[in-house]
Amino acid sequence: MEHLDLDEEQSVELIKSTVRLAHLARNKFLAEAPQVPKELPWILGSIGPYGAHLHDGSEYTGEYADTVDAEVIKKWHRVRIEAVLEAGVDGLAIETIPCRMEAEALVEIMTDEYPDVKYWLAFQCKDDQSIAHGENFAETCRAIWTKAKESSNILAIGTNCVNPRIVSPLFKAVNSGYPEAQKIPLVVYPNSGETYTVKDGWTGKEDCQPLENYAGEWISLGAKIIGGCCRTYARDIQRIKKFVENL
């Protein structure tokens, strides 16, 4: 509304149009596929963090958790959740969440208001132990998973938009030592491993390993959904898929 000079109805319609584009892409793929896939490819609506609209970088710190009420965050998210659901997504990718408070608020929405909508929850992490706001990753995942499983519509919990090198330590802390039945299904879609700064943009490509090199260990630690975030491309997903199919 502020930056594109739209009213609220037009803004919501713009969000819905992104889902319609995804449907067009899926229909085109299905029309051109040599054989119909066993399962219809899913379209998931991206539900990003509250801090992303503040334009102050707080989606990477979660510092708004110290000053913004959970009900305010819930109200902000409902508009976007409703828009993509009305437009026909198959589920939600609740992602790049930097703080436990926001994750708990979102899980409450999904448990109480949308118990039939499938979703995963992925955190932004600042290192190999903590989510961006500083809470312990493993403890947060365990607590969130226990709450979310009350309605059984959560698919996985994990991390996205992080350096792939920190994923294994995070996942080991969540699932190591637990019997198979008690392990949490995990989701991960990291960056390429490059580093971003405002001054230099993306740097360090020469130091990056292909994501499929990490995939085997992630799967052994409980990863059920694997993909890529910033600076990853269709070819990266194809290589991950080929690796998984060859297991």
Q: Is 161 annotated as a binding residue?
A: yes
Q: Is 99 annotated as a binding residue?
A: no
Q: Is 230 annotated as a binding residue?
A: yes
Q: What is the 3-state secondary structure (H, E, C) of the chain?
A: CCCCCCCHHHHHHHHHHHHHHHHHHHHHHHHHCCCCCCCCCCCEEEECCHHHHHCCCHHHCCHHHHCCCHHHHHHHHHHHHHHHHHHCCCEEEEEEECCHHHHHHHHHHHHHCCCCCCEEEEECECCCCEECCCCEHHHHHHHHHHHHCCCCCEEEEEEECCCHHHHHHHHHHHHCCCCHHHCCCEEEECCCCCEEECCCEEECHHHCCCCHHHHHHHHHCCEEEECCCCCCCHHHHHHHHHHHHCC
Residues of each annotated binding site for Zn(2+): 161, 229-230
Residue ranges for the known binding site are: 161, 229-230
